[in-house]
Chain A
Amino acid sequence: MLACLPRGWVRSPPNGGKFMYRNFNVGTRCPCPCVCKKVAIGLIKRKMSIGKKISLLLLLMLAAAVANICLVFNYQTFQLKVVLMAMLGFDILVFSAGCLFGVKLVRPIKALSRAAAEMGRGEFMKEVEITSTDEIGELCRTFNKMVMNLEGFRNSLVSARDYTDTILGSMIDPLIVVDFEGTIQVVNHATLHLLGYAKEDIIGKPVGMIFKLKEDGIPKKTRLQELTKEGFIRDYKTKSGEKIPVGLYTSIMRDRKGKMLGYVCVARDMRQINRLVVDLEKARAELEEWSGTLEKKVEERTKELKQSRDYTEKIISSLNDSLIVLNPDMTIRTVSCFTLELLGYKEDELLNQPIHKIFPTPGKYDTCFDDGFWGELAQRSRMNNVQKVFQTKEGRRIPVLFSSSVMRDENGLALGVVCIARDISEHKKIMDRLSRANEEIKSFASIVSHDLRSPLVNLKGFSHELKEALREIKGIFEELSPRLADGQRLRGEELLRDDIPEALDFIETSTSAMERLISHILTLSRIGSRTLIPVEIDTREFVSNKLKIFKYQIESKNIRVTVKELPRVVADESALDQIFGNILSNAINYLAPGRSGEIEISGERRKGDTLFMIKDNGRGIAAEDCHKVFELFRRAGKPTVPGEGIGLCYVKALVERHGGEIWFESREGVGTAFYFTISGVSDGLS
């Protein structure tokens, strides 16, 4: 065993890329140890499997031992020879054991080297069988682990590459990668498509086949650097020789440590862009032309608009009514000068303020302001002449006639509300005065009729008393007269018979006339307050009944009366009776002398009212008398017929109570036509 002691560790040649150990020994008794050593080293250096090397080394050891024994065997004693033989036997035993051990040791190493070879080919699926728990077993386990890691690493690398390939493949812009030598390394599908080459036609070829670099003579590296200039426009040459202008965007590719690896060039097909540029240029030119005319047009339009705006503003500022434009949220948007003047506000005090600001605070005058009204204002497209009250800045109240309409755009969306308000303070004052005056007239009429009647009672009463006294005096005078002188008697008789009765008669007729006038005034003043009862009247029948009353006069004066179509009408029957009665009686009474009378009665229904006409061929009314026709106590023309001039005044009041109008057309000596309309029954003068 001593001969087999290991002498040291030797590193195996790096051919297999793995560590291993060998032991070998050189017998101390070897007569030529140097030869053995050399043979052993030569053996180890030889290119052969470890198993073989171990076997050969053992053989060498055995041979050296045998040679040693043979060399010493001749001069040794028998005992020594026995010892030597025993040593030889032991050596053989050691050899056999070494052979066995070598085989056991070498198998896993072989398996390892096979697996490594397979891994080198890229097959990572093989796993080395672990047969022992010693260092070799540990080595195998580590190896398997490394294989697993390597496989994972490779897979991630592969998927990363696939991902990059996918990106490159789906890029729209052509991409090429060029190394420093100007050799094309990578192209994407877009490049191939653009140029018409197959991948293998182009990979590894100089970049010059695609586009021209700068003049020769300049070092290639400098020429290539030219590429990195941003937006470098070049022509790509296709396989068919066509030139395609491209915008080339190049960047230098570096590894992680910053080492330059090559150029990445992304090209953009400029043809489309060029076309666009051309179109754009055209469009620009057109636009310029347009903008010229447009500018002119805009200028004109602006001028027009300004004029129209000025015009509108002038209209608004010269409006004598208050104009307020509201936003849909009921805040003030526009307000006219007149409004500001009226209310005493400055424009900025009202703009964007709620409209409530110019109305009196609610509560005190509830009718002036209520939310319902505002709701209505926004919803109803129009509101006409509603009486409202504005409140000025100082708190003064101004009655206004308020109208509004909702302003809409072409889609019907409400833009706001336009409000017009007319100051009716004066109007209202006048109206108040008028209604007061009207009341006064009414009470005046009744006072007059009473106060004028009181003296009448006296006049009548005392004149009557005087008559009685006169009668008595007459009797007394007759008794006394024979005793009187002739002159006295005659004078007394004259007084009692003529003068006093004459005076009393005048007093009586005058008081009677006055009494009639007073009662007419009273009647007239009562027309306004009398309640009219509207009923539907068959006017044809009504008129024919009315004519029966005048039958005697019509027949005796030989008047021809024509009644044409007469529509039914709703009116107060007694009022209508008085209207027709008065006009007919005028027609009958004022005939033209020497001409047989003709009266025509007709009527027609019009929009909103009914028109009646009573036409005669009478004496007519002189132009200068026309204004007197409807006046109280005035009579036109010669008073050939008794009357106080009250009829037509009365008729006019009745027609007006029926919401109608009355007028006439007349020519002196030709005839008169009276027209009147009836449209409804009003509540009264108020």
Chain B
Amino acid sequence: MDYRKSVTILLVEDDKGHARLIEKNLRRAGINNAIVHLDDGQKAVDFLFQKGAYSGNVLPTPLLVLMDLNMPVLDGHQVLKQMKENQATHKIPVIVLTTTANASEVLLCYELGCNIFIKKPVEYTDFCEAIRKLGMFLEIVLIPNGD
């Protein structure tokens, strides 16, 4: 099995509609990888560190995180911070995908250790185009193996 096909995509997005649209468009772009959708930051942290509802789970590897910033309970910044501070998760690539993208926000995310920052376009054709390109990008990206 192709190594890239084994990558699990963890989609952290509080807006179910957005999540659905992202997923749809990724699929259209030919991404057939497993996508795990979580709708708040706390759940993402629990999933990543096998806590709470996810205790006892095995973290799928290799893993790629696709995350929004504005989320309830824990926002994207907090999740990013915890991930990058922890030895077990700091190597997992994180792609931030959000609607507002002012300069200070972008800077802050990169400072916290995010790997890619993508703006969610409001216009749907642009949105589709962005996700399609992301899919194409993911096709060629190499991700460290969890081992």
A456 within 8 A of B: yes
Please determine whether A457 and B100 come into contact, CB atoms closer than 8 angstroms: no
A interface bracket (residues with beta carbon within 8 Å of B): 10 to 19
Please determine whether A461 and B100 come into contact, CB atoms closer than 8 angstroms: no
Query: Assuming A446-B100, A461-B124, A515-B122, is B21 touching A454 (CB within 8 A)?
Result: no
Find chain A residues with CB under 8 A from B128 CB.
464
A196 smallest CB distance to B (angstroms): 119
> Could you tell me the distance between the alpha carbons of A464 and B100 in the complex, rounded to whole angstroms?
22
Please determine whether B99 and A450 come into contact, CB atoms closer than 8 angstroms: yes
Query: Assuming A446-B100, A457-B127, is B70 touching A451 (CB within 8 A)?
Result: yes
B49 smallest CB distance to A (angstroms): 27
Interface residues of B in 1-60 (CB under 8 A from A): 15, 17-18, 21, 24
Please determine whether B124 and A460 come into contact, CB atoms closer than 8 angstroms: yes
Please determine whether B123 and A454 come into contact, CB atoms closer than 8 angstroms: no
| Contact residue among A457, A460, A464 (Cβ-Cβ distance under 8 Å from B99) | A457
A449 within 8 A of B: yes
| Contact residue among B21, B24, B70, B102 (Cβ-Cβ distance under 8 Å from A457) | B21
B120 within 8 A of A: yes
| Contact residue among A446, A449, A458, A463 (Cβ-Cβ distance under 8 Å from B15) | A458
> Could you tell me the distance between the alpha carbons of A515 and B99 in the complex, rounded to whole angstroms?
13
Interface residues of A in 453-505 (CB under 8 A from B): 453-458, 460-465
Please determine whether A462 and B21 come into contact, CB atoms closer than 8 angstroms: yes
B interface bracket (residues with beta carbon within 8 Å of A): 10 to 19
Pair count A-B, CB < 8 A? 48
> Could you tell me the distance between the alpha carbons of A463 and B124 in the complex, rounded to whole angstroms?
9
> Could you tell me the distance between the alpha carbons of A461 and B122 in the complex, rounded to whole angstroms?
9
Find chain A residues with CB under 8 A from B24 CB.
465
Please determine whether B99 and A453 come into contact, CB atoms closer than 8 angstroms: yes
B113 smallest CB distance to A (angstroms): 23
> Could you tell me the distance between the alpha carbons of A455 and B17 in the complex, rounded to whole angstroms?
8
B123 smallest CB distance to A (angstroms): 7
> Could you tell me the distance between the alpha carbons of A655 and B147 in the complex, rounded to whole angstroms?
62
Please determine whether A454 and B124 come into contact, CB atoms closer than 8 angstroms: no
- Contact bitstring B85-129, A, C-beta under 8 A = 1, else 0: 000000000000001101000000000000000001011110110
Find chain B residues with CB under 8 A from A460 CB.
122-124, 127
| Contact residue among A449, A451, A453, A457 (Cβ-Cβ distance under 8 Å from B124) | A457
> Could you tell me the distance between the alpha carbons of A150 and B114 in the complex, rounded to whole angstroms?
136
A443 smallest CB distance to B (angstroms): 12
> Could you tell me the distance between the alpha carbons of A106 and B17 in the complex, rounded to whole angstroms?
174
B18 smallest CB distance to A (angstroms): 6
Please determine whether A456 and B21 come into contact, CB atoms closer than 8 angstroms: no
B70 smallest CB distance to A (angstroms): 6
> Could you tell me the distance between the alpha carbons of A461 and B125 in the complex, rounded to whole angstroms?
8
Please determine whether B70 and A462 come into contact, CB atoms closer than 8 angstroms: no
Find chain A residues with CB under 8 A from B125 CB.
464
Find chain A residues with CB under 8 A from B99 CB.
450, 453-454, 457
A457 smallest CB distance to B (angstroms): 6
B121 smallest CB distance to A (angstroms): 8
Residue of A nearest to B13 (CB): A454
Find chain A residues with CB under 8 A from B127 CB.
457, 460-461
Please determine whether B17 and A458 come into contact, CB atoms closer than 8 angstroms: yes
Please determine whether A449 and B100 come into contact, CB atoms closer than 8 angstroms: yes
Residue of A nearest to B101 (CB): A450
> Could you tell me the distance between the alpha carbons of A457 and B25 in the complex, rounded to whole angstroms?
14
Please determine whether A450 and B17 come into contact, CB atoms closer than 8 angstroms: no
B109 smallest CB distance to A (angstroms): 15
B72 smallest CB distance to A (angstroms): 12
Please determine whether B122 and A462 come into contact, CB atoms closer than 8 angstroms: no
B101 smallest CB distance to A (angstroms): 10
Residue of B nearest to A447 (CB): B70
Please determine whether A456 and B122 come into contact, CB atoms closer than 8 angstroms: yes
> Could you tell me the distance between the alpha carbons of A454 and B72 in the complex, rounded to whole angstroms?
14
- Contact bitstring A417-460, B, C-beta under 8 A = 1, else 0: 00000000000000000000000000000100111011111101
Find chain A residues with CB under 8 A from B123 CB.
460
A298 smallest CB distance to B (angstroms): 78
> Could you tell me the distance between the alpha carbons of A11 and B79 in the complex, rounded to whole angstroms?
159
Q: A446-B102, A449-B100, A465-B24 are in contact. List 10 more A-B contacts (CB 8 A).
A: A450-B99, A450-B100, A454-B18, A455-B17, A457-B21, A457-B99, A457-B127, A460-B122, A460-B123, A461-B18
24 contacts between A and B (CB under 8 A): A446-B102, A450-B99, A450-B100, A451-B70, A453-B100, A454-B15, A454-B70, A455-B15, A455-B17, A457-B15, A457-B17, A457-B18, A457-B99, A457-B124, A458-B15, A458-B17, A458-B18, A458-B21, A460-B124, A461-B21, A461-B124, A462-B21, A464-B128, A465-B24
Interfacial residues, chain A to chain B (CB-CB below 8 A): 446, 449-451, 453-458, 460-465, 515
Sorted from nearest, which 5 A-B pairs have the closest CB atoms?
A458-B17, A460-B124, A461-B21, A464-B124, A450-B100
